[in-house]
Structure 1
C-alpha cells in the first residue's frame, strides 16, 4: 500500500489526490438501479465503500484491497422509486450491502400498531437525502474524507423525523465512523425505532468464520433458532433451503462505554476480519441475523434501540422509545478492517468476548 511521511511528499508523487483515494460521485445507468446517485469513497489503505444518498445515506459496496466485505442481495441496487411499504415488500428493494438503515418511526417485522399498518423495517432506507455534501480536507499530513446528508421521514399529520448522517474516514485509514443525529421536527411525540442492519458476506464471511461478542445472554427468536443457539457464533457451508436464524443479544459494554463485536474470517487462521463498535447508551439492543443458505450466505450484525419483532410488540412490552418535539438522539458507530493477526487479537481482547 502507498506510504508517505508528509502531505508534500505524497502530492509531489501524484497528479491529483484521486490517484490514491478520495470521493467520486456517480449515477447508476441501467436496470432498476438507473438514476441512483452514489458516492464512491476510497482510502490509500485499500478501503472502499459506496455511500448512497438516494437510499437514505446507506452504504452499499464495501471492500478492502479488492476483497468484498459485504453481501449483495439478489435484487442488486434498486432505485427508491420501486419501494413499497406493504407487508414484506421492502424485501424487493433490500439491496443488502454493508449497511441498510431501518426505521425511523418503525423497524422490524410488519405489524399493526394503534390502527396503523406498518411494513417491514420502515422507509428510511428508501428515502433520498437532502443537503448532501462531501469534502476532502487536509489536516496536517492526512486527508479527512467526509460525506454528509439529511434524510426526512414525514407525512401530513404524521411524524416529522430528520436523520442527519455524517460518514468520516481519512486517506490513511482502514476504518470509517458514522455519526447520526435524529431530531423530531414535528409537533407531536413520535415513536423512534433505529436499527443498523450491517450485512457481512463472502469472502470475508466463510464457513470457518467466527463471531466474538461480549454477550451476557443470547435469546433465540423461535424454535428453529433455538435448536442451534449454542452455535450462534459459528458457521458452516451454505445449504439449499436453509432457514434464517435470529438471536437477540444482551451485551456488556467494554472500554470507554463502547460495545465491540468482531467477525473473524477464519477461526483457524485469525488474521483477517472486521470490528464493529457502537455506543450502547443509545443503542441498547443487538440483533443477529444468521443466514447460511445458498445464494443468501450472510451475517447481519444489528445494533439497535429495538429488536426485530416490530413496533406493536415493542409497545406492548413497554420498550418502545419516543422522541418529543424538538428532541434529538445521537448514534455513534465505527467499522474497522482488521488487517493481520495482531489487530484481530487486539480487537478480540477489546471486545471482552465470553468463551
Structure 2
C-alpha cells in the first residue's frame, strides 16, 4: 500500500512537471545567465488572473550586478526576491498594503561588497533590508568567536548568490508559479550544505509559500541552524499594533527586554533611542503541528501572518525595533530551529540540529497578506482556537546570557 501510494505521488509530480513550462535563468554548471528577462501570462496564452515574471540586473553603487526577480499578479500580490542575496524576499505588496520595511540600507547590496567579518562580525547589517532573510544554514545568531573562528551574525545564506535559478509555470489552472534557487554553502574541509529554495505562488492569491530543502552533501555529519527573519514595518506596524500567536511561553532575550514584558506583544510609535527588544517564544500548534503568528495593525483591518510547522521550526523569536523611521522602524517575526543567541550558547543548550551525510531537512512557511478586517478576524480566530484554555507562561528570566 505504501509503495502504491508513493508511486501515485511520484507520477502526480511527473505529470505536473510535464504540464508546466520551465525557464533556466542561472546555472553555474553550464555558465547560463539570462540578464534582463520577462514572461507574461499573455505571452503564454494562459487564462485566469494575469501575471508577469521579470528579472532585472541592477546597476550602480553597491547594488552593481545584483539581480531582482519580480512576480506581479493583477488583483493579487507583487513579490520581489533577489537571486543575488540568497533568494531572499525583498518586499511584497498588494491591496495597498506592504509586507516589508524601510531600512537605512536602500540598495540591494551585492554580496561582493559585503565583508561579513567587519565590525566584529556584524557586517551582515550592511545589506540588511529584506522582508524575509534566511539566517543560516551553517550557523545563525549573534556573532561569536569559538576556537579562533569568528561565526558572523546570522550566517552566510543571505549573502550567497544562487548557483542555479529556474522558473516554472503550470499550464493548467490555477497556473501556479514556482521559482527555485540553489544555495551552496561549501568550504573545503568544513561544510558542503546545499539548499533548494522555492517560492510558490498562485496568481491572484493573497498568500504564497516558501519551501526549502536543506541537504548535507558531505561524507560527514554537520550541524545546521535556520531562522526565517521575517520583517514588517509601516503601514501594518504602528502605535498599538499587535502581535498574536498561540504560545506555550514567553521569556526575555536579555535583561533589557525584561523591562518590556508587560507590553511584549504591543507596539509603540517610532521612538528615538529605543534599543532592539527581543523575546523568546515557544509556539503552540494544532493536532497537525501547524501554527500561525501574525502582526495586526491598530484598527484590526490590515496585517501579515506566517503559518509554519513546529516539527520543522519549533521556536519563534519576536524582534521589536521601534526606533525612528529613518533608523529602521521594524519588527521581526522569526520562526526557526533555534533562538538568536550565539551558536555556542545554542549548542550548549541543545538547540543546534544535525544532518547525517546525505540527509535532508525541509522547511515550509506560508505568508499571507491580510487585506481587510475579515482576513484579520480569521487569523485571530485560529490563534484562539489553537491556544484554547491554556495560559501563556511568562518568565522574567532570560534562558541564556551572552
Query: What is the TM-score normalised by the length of structure 1?
Result: 0.91
Which of 292, 295, 306 matches 1:263? 295
In the other structure, the counterpart of 2:158 is 125
Are 1:309 and 2:309 counterparts? Answer: no
Are 1:90 and 2:121 counterparts? Answer: no
Kindly indicate whether the alpha-carbon contact (under 8 Å) linking 2:52 and 2:71 is maintained by their aligned counterparts in 1. Answer: yes
In the other structure, the counterpart of 2:38 is none
Alpha-carbon deviation of 1:18? 12
Pick the structure with greater CA Rg.
2
Q: Which secondary structure state, in structure 2, belongs to the residue aligned with residue 68 of structure 1?
A: strand
Kindly indicate whether the alpha-carbon contact (under 8 Å) linking 1:80 and 1:127 is maintained by their aligned counterparts in 2. Answer: yes
Kindly indicate whether the alpha-carbon contact (under 8 Å) linking 1:43 and 1:174 is maintained by their aligned counterparts in 2. Answer: no
Identify unmatched segments of 5+ residues in structure 1: 1-10
CA RMSD of superposed structures (Å): 2.0
In the other structure, the counterpart of 1:71 is 101
Kindly indicate whether the alpha-carbon contact (under 8 Å) linking 1:106 and 1:121 is maintained by their aligned counterparts in 2. Answer: yes
Q: Provide closer, same or farther for how the CA distance between residues 335 and 19 of structure 1 changes in structure 2, counting only shifts above 3 A.
A: closer
Which of 79, 102, 113 matches 1:49? 79
Alpha-carbon deviation of 1:178? 0.7
In the other structure, the counterpart of 2:198 is 166
- Distance in 2 (CA, whole Å) between partners of 1:15 and 1:284 is 43
Structure 2 counterparts to residues 153-302 of structure 1, below 5 A: 153-254=185-286, 256-266=288-298, 269-294=299-324, 295=326, 296-302=328-334
1:122-164 residue CA offsets vs partner (Å, 9 max, x unmatched): 1110000022011232323x22111101100011111110010
- Distance in 2 (CA, whole Å) between partners of 1:255 and 1:47 is 31
Which of 169, 182, 185 matches 1:136? 169
Alpha-carbon deviation of 1:94? 1.4
In the other structure, the counterpart of 1:326 is 358
Query: What is the TM-score normalised by the length of structure 2?
Result: 0.80
Kindly indicate whether the alpha-carbon contact (under 8 Å) linking 2:95 and 2:371 is maintained by their aligned counterparts in 1. Answer: no
Identify unmatched segments of 5+ residues in structure 2: 1-40, 393-402
Which of 132, 147, 161 matches 1:99? 132
- Distance in 2 (CA, whole Å) between partners of 1:18 and 1:120 is 44
Report how many residues are paired: 340
1:145-194 residue CA offsets vs partner (Å, 9 max, x unmatched): 11101100011111110010110011121110011000000122111010
- Distance in 2 (CA, whole Å) between partners of 1:215 and 1:326 is 34
Which stretch shifts more, 292-301 or 107-116?
107-116
- Distance in 1 (CA, whole Å) between partners of 2:109 and 2:139 is 21
